[in-house]
Structure 1
């Protein structure tokens, strides 16, 4: 069944461009909304309009999400550990060693391939190559992931992650003795100057990054930490604990 989003322009709202209004209401990028408008998937009071059209208060906006394009990523029967599932979302326990979505060097055998086998309907949800994905975990990291099964839920989850209302907690075993029982690591993260495929700390152009930690248990050569990343940089925890 085709998924749609319908809403009415607030009588008290300030007039603006159609593409800007729809992007804000849907959570989609403005570029994607403009493509949908060009393809006739956005109607104002039942009529197609240009991206620059300015709807009036009280007019009804209808956005229909097109079906997925044929081809693309093929489903694979990869086992999933499902913690919860309903018509809107799926919660899984991702094992270490499993890549979340296809990319360079990982064309098959990813979590996305497994999700498409379990729930084919998510093929139309989200970005091409990342259906249903609203957040990710590194290949070697295990943990809970939430997957969207509808566009509405995807936008809602993405907004929650963006506003940091989702609390992320990680466990890490580090090969060192951590003296303080708790603390906060605040170091900027950027691409490594010598190896652009790696991330590093301390560069002037690095992006702000902060991770709070608490010691759970100490061993002769290791320390078990409970971590709360306050920002979401690539490989943040691994870089901060290096």
Structure 2
């Protein structure tokens, strides 16, 4: 049964990518253009003074935070109403509700994998050639997969019961954008401000991308522990909620 459900996740995730390609003139080019355009806007907005000392080419510094952020933002924004948006399916036959946000997370992960070579190529051309430290990207990406998935499922599990969350989720995404050190170096802030900013688990994740690509440092377990803990706890709580409310969702969504 689980194998069948995972096959549904795969098919829905891949079909979502195909639908994106068919419903726009530029197709997959948008997967690259969207984060790059957003990066360009932030570059022009914060390319002086405000950012503090990044210690690296600011455009590359920005890309190392912006592309992973866009992955997270797409996951949670699309997942938060995934159960609500599929109420027609739920009214016809039974499916585990975790399938819907998981399918979206799979689709967004595949998109990120398509964009990742752009980031690596830009880093290389900017004077940061590949090194053995780049293998450290694997645990960093894994930690973000867990964090994205946990928060996405939690948003998906609660939004059908608390419709007001659909207005709160975009604010939370904006909060992550401005508090995770995407366009400034957290270490350049006063110690008390650093402690506050590092409560955001994505601050550590985005910093680890830079550690690997710009500083040739392989992340330690300690670097990824906090984001993983937040991700795992969110995932466990979300799955527990989805299981407890499994038969409640169809009634609430009528």
Do both proteins adopt the same fold according to a TM-score greater than 0.5, normalized to the shorter chain? no
Larger Rg: 1
More helix per residue: 2
Of structures 1 and 2, the one scoring higher in RCO (CA 8 A, sep 6+) is: 2
Structure with greater strand percent: 1
What's the TM-score, normalizing by structure 2?
0.26
TM-score of the superposed pair, with normalisation by structure 1: 0.27
